[in-house]
Structure 1
């Protein structure tokens, strides 16, 4: 019976062939590294673009219009939403439309802007504000602020991101003070209210006098108002409302709760010092 005999045979490979094989392997490794780096760069670029998009979305309060600080009583703001809609408040009228943003080149265009048609005391400002929004072609972020500029890159308007939007930049009208309902008296020119602005200032009307000051919101719905609030000194002898008691609320309050359009200012674990309702114009 014959047995098959096998043997391993090693064929010699020419040195040039070996070099060619090594070169091919190195080229493939290099290509794989390059592709991995490209994919990584794309992901990093996408992440950067997404971060800019997230920063752009949200509510912004104007701080500068063509080099001038707005002097409107109510905060002027715009809001960019995820569905490419834009809406805002011009101080008296509201505005809405759509927007397109080229995140990579930081280009922006607001389209189809339409405003309500109420007659306003500062119509010139509203017209300038609307024109600035229509002329906006670029956007940048500078020191946490949003700057809209024209085709020539000249600044048109600067905005500050609105923090704590559930309570800031809203017109809060008092409806209850120290557990008692508050109604507007015939001798009052308007109801008592206050507004927390994005820049950390507060202003309002106490029933006879206007007041202004500063505030700070901390974690856990903690709030503190500057004790040195400034107020006008008008005398209102026919006013039955306790104006001093109203202003005392801001000196004492250290916490707030908000539910929808109802805000309570509280001190410690006591009953609310005052209850307010949001008013929209």
Structure 2
């Protein structure tokens, strides 16, 4: 099995190598918009460590915001989409700083992204990110999934806030429970109970906001997490499915604010 996988990866790398050296099939930068799985790194198939996410990168067509996941941490930044076709600079991307059991894949992805200065289309679904004429990352366009408000129904645990993991040692784990039919939010922010409404846009299935979220007024030893959750809820403008089955809430600038899991 390992031998077969190596052969497939080598074939992919050779295909990307030839495309990086060629001036053919150069697509406009705007065509990079959307979400892409990172399927190959320096000629080797990407295999995340057990329990970690599959890495991906996304580019917002409206503002050039870059977001994604390196299998452990979230990445974010911006990229110009009005430059010369075939050229791209991803060296200034930032990332959150959560620790994972295996950081090797993440470190290799971040190192490769800093080298990228070109891109080349391989076929309808695959793009090579190149360091000069050498491919370092192969991207494969993610299958689009329909976002539905009904996906939110029920109870979700808050796992990340502003890129920081919620400690699993808390006496009260923050959660949110959505009643889509009634357009109501109920939950706990780590100390106090929260309640609020759900605001949507019939012309945009991914749009969502939580106006006038209120909370009880009990004091706890550490209110920082609760304060961040309430602040993030106030900034939410959209939501989407994450590859691990969770839900992400995003700001108007498409920055990931909250990660929820069943």
TM exceeds 0.5?
A: no
Structure number with larger C-alpha Rg: 1
TM-score scaled to structure 1, two decimals? Answer: 0.41
TM-score (normalised: structure 2): 0.44
Higher RCO, Cα 8 Å, sep 6+: 2
